[in-house]
Structure formats: structure tokens, C-alpha cells
Amino acid sequence: MTKAALKEIRPLIAEIVEEKLREILGDPDAGLAIRPRVRALLRKRFRSEEVIPADKVARRLGLKW
């Protein structure tokens, strides 16, 4: 297979693999309702806590981001 042909087919293969992974590993909770109490707790938590960017957390943990 030529480099040009590979360049054309790679995105298609990547899309197919990604679609299959989503199908296999999909969210088991998709479509389920969140209880009102849980929803309220989540909203409260997200309003009250500082949001730390992922790269900052990675640096704190000594991870290469």
C-alpha cells in the first residue's frame, strides 16, 4: 500500500475503531435519571469548589502532561 493510500485510509480506520470502542465501552448509565438530591449535591459541589485546570493537577502530581 502506498503512503498516499495509507494517508487516505487512516482517518477512516480511526473513525471505525473509535465507533466500535464507543459501542463496546459505552456509558452504562446513559439514559438513566439522576435523583433530585444527587443533582442538587453535584450543583452545590461545583459551585462551591475551586476548579483546578488538569495541567496544574498533573504538575502537582509530577505527571508529564
pTM over 0.75: no
Q: Inform me whether the pLDDT recorded for 51 exceeds 90.
A: no
Element (H, E) at 44: helix 36-48
Domain boundaries, the chain: 1-27
Residue 49 C-beta-side C-alpha neighbours within 13 Å: 9
What is residue 23's predicted lDDT score, i.e. its pLDDT?
87
How far, in Å, CA of 53 to CA of 2, rounded? 42
